[in-house]
């Protein structure tokens, strides 16, 4: 059994004159912040190309140290999403971390690629480990809480407008005139509409299947709902 031994961390680098930025995470086995930009120079091909052409960045920083891989990866993803790196060409990041693709075969973004031990470790941390946590004000969907202030679970539903809409929907009922249906509060239904819902015709060979006979004592009709207030179930003899 392999036991993970390392100190995960996030970092930030910048070439000020070029106005180019990169924010990343490091969590390989036996990694430590003191290794950054000494033996480890990020895994980004874009960073490698910029470094080769323009030299080392002038700003090299360790931003945050963690006690678990999950927390480090979640924090990196959270920062990159907040910075909207995909919408800014000044950021060299090519993804926002913790990305999942539902494509398969040649259409998959990683088809034909080989991965380092660190990349395979990233992939082994699956989405199934994510849980909701909240600190009473903010909620996150992550493998572990950010700190001891976060407790398991989501914040109470507090969207007043949406809650009012949901409450109103509970009062509504279906009404139909045999041709159309409406979903409204009782008392606001259109004229000649009765309680019920038009049944969708799923049998084209017999469009009246499921309908019933109704009579007003003078004539009879096949209908899915009562044709009117003076109609009752049955047929005129």
Q: Residue 23 has what pLDDT?
A: 95
Note down pLDDT in tens along the chain; length 237 residues.
456 788 999 999 999 998 899 999 999 888 999 999 999 999 888 898 889 888 999 999 999 999 888 889 889 988 998 888 877 888 988 776 543 333 445 545 455 666 666 666 555 544 456 678 888 887 776 767 778 888 888 877 666 666 666 777 778 888 888 778 888 888 888 888 888 877 665 555 565 666 788 888 888 887 767 777 788 888 876
Whether the Cβ atoms of residue 152 and residue 142 lie closer than 8 Å to each other: no
Beta strands 194-195; 173-176: pairing state: antiparallel
The helix (run of H) or strand (run of E) holding residue 48 is helix 45-54
3-class secondary-structure state, position 203: coil
CA terminus-to-terminus distance, the chain:
85
Tokens linked to 180: 């159309």
> Could you say which DSSP state residue 190 is in?
P
Q: Residue 115 has what pLDDT?
A: 62
3-class secondary-structure state, position 109: coil
- Is the Cα torsion angle 69, 70, 75, 77 positive or negative in sign? positive
Q: Residue 83 has what pLDDT?
A: 87
């Amino acid at each position: 059994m392999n036991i993970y031994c390392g100190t995960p961390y996030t970092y930030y680098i910048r070439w000020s004159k070029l106005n180019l930025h990169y924010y990343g995470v490091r969590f390989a086995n036996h990694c430590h912040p003191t290794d950054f930009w000494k033996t480890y120079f990020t895994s980004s091909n874009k960073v490698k190309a910029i470094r080769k052409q323009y030299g080392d960045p002038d700003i090299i920083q360790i931003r945050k140290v963690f006690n678990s891989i999950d927390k480090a990866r979640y924090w990196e993803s959270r920062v990159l999403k907040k910075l909207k790196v995909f919408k800014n060409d000044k950021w060299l990041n090519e993804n926002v971390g913790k990305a999942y693709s539902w494509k398969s075969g040649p259409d998959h973004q990683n088809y034909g690629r080989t991965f380092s031990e660190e990349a395979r470790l990233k992939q082994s941390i699956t989405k199934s480990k994510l849980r909701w946590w909240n600190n009473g004000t903010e909620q996150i969907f992550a493998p572990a809480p950010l700190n001891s202030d976060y407790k398991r679970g989501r914040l109470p539903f507090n969207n007043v407008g949406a809650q009012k809409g949901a409450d109103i929907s509970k009062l509504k009922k279906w009404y139909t005139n045999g041709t159309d249906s409406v979903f409204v509060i009782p008392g606001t239904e259109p004229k000649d509409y009765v309680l019920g819902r038009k049944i969708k015709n799923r049998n084209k060979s017999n469009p009246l299947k499921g309908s019933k006979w109704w009579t007003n004592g003078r004539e009879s009709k096949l209908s899915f709902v009562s044709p009117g207030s003076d109609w009752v179930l049955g047929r005129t003899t």
